Amino acid sequence: MQSGSKERDGPSQAQLPSIVHALLRSYRSDERAKRIGRRFLPSHEEIVEILHLFFELLFPGYFGRLDLNEENLEYHTGNLLAELKEKLERQVERCLCFREECEPDFDASACRLKARQITQAILEKIPEIRRKLILDAQAALDGDPAAESLDEVILAYPGYRAVVVYRIAHEIFSLGVPLMPRIMSEWAHTETGADIHPAAVIGESFFIDHATGVVIGATAHIGNRVRIYQGVTLGALSLERDASGRVVGGPKRHPTVEDDVTIYAGATVLGGQTVLGRGAVIGGSTFITRSVPPGARVAIDPPKLRIGGVEGTVVNQEGGNHPTSSSLVASEEMPGRGNNK
């Protein structure tokens, strides 16, 4: 009985060396996806902690300590900033060293000095990041009739949280820090369902409603007062591949969206030469690969819908009910047609 139980539990201690050797053969036969003999790797956990510190600094009283007042605010802010500086500088240094440690002239002390300079530059940008984020929150409040307050937007809206992380990650990306911005943006992707590349350029008063399924590519340019709904993709067309089969990316692969554009749910806009002109409205579920002039309205023809369970009835997109030749069903007999006020 006991022997059978051990067999079911998995390999015995005596079998483990063979598995170890098999793994070693795998490691040695393929140099990819392993980091042996290298020292520097950024910490995913601490980078997420850095984001939480940013949230506390950007929105005092909403995240972290809740008993803030005018008497303790300065002390609290100074402490937060010192903690953020320490963690941010450490992770920026690791990211820089991670990129450069295989170079023949690698100098860890040079990474440390550069990390200190970059960290200072990031911290100095925080007030401007906060200014933009307040405009983004106001755009969400103004653009969504379901939003009752800025508090609700800041605390509850996944699209807004994705934009907050984007604004932080974009500034870090702009200062030449590798890897960290992508870790931040992919954390936000996991948390919110919105995938915004930190290299994208996005103007002020930006609002993503519902967030789920939104994709904004690395070379996308978005103007001011743009509103995007769930499931929108600002993506690239098919790209060429090099001799090794790897995709070759051009300098501008993703669309440009000018000021005051609205893009409704499920729309797909592709291509680096595609421009959505100022004030354009892009209807839901559209597929666009060429430019749209300013002020244009783009929509697909409404489909006819068939409702199962009511034989012979066709319902068009405007809501009218049309009996087919095989059935004469009066509209007032349709289920759900009664007055529900």
> What are the structural domain ranges in the chain?
305-341
Q: Tokens standing for 293?
A: 């002039």
How far, in Å, CA of 153 to CA of 163, rounded?
12
pLDDT per position as a tens digit, 88-136: 999 999 999 998 887 778 888 899 999 999 999 999 999 999 999 999 9
Q: What is the mean pLDDT of residues 67-96?
A: 96
274 within 8 A of 289, measured Cβ to Cβ: yes
Residue environment code for 289-302, b if the CB has 16+ CB neighbours within 10 A, otherwise e: eeebeeeeebeeee
- Global confidence as pTM: 0.84
How far, in Å, CA of 22 to CA of 10, rounded?
17
How far, in Å, CA of 203 to CA of 200, rounded?
10
**Which range has the worst mean pLDDT, 53-62, 102-111, 128-137, 153-162?**
102-111
> Whole-number mean pLDDT of the chain?
88
Q: Where does the pLDDT of residue 333 fall: very low under 50, low under 70, confident under 90, or very high at 90 and above?
A: very low
Query: Which residues have C-beta within 8 Å of that of residue 277, sequence separation ≥ 6?
Result: 258, 261, 291, 292, 293, 294, 295, 296
Q: Where does the pLDDT of residue 303 fall: very low under 50, low under 70, confident under 90, or very high at 90 and above?
A: confident
- Reduced to 3 states, what is the DSSP secondary structure of residue 250? coil
- Reduced to 3 states, what is the DSSP secondary structure of residue 268? strand
- Reduced to 3 states, what is the DSSP secondary structure of residue 139? helix
pLDDT per position as a tens digit, 215-264: 999 999 999 999 999 999 999 997 777 767 776 667 899 999 999 999 99
List the Cα angle 215/216/220 in 5-degree steps. 155
pLDDT per position as a tens digit, 266-281: 999 999 999 999 999 9
- pLDDT surpasses 70 at 311: no
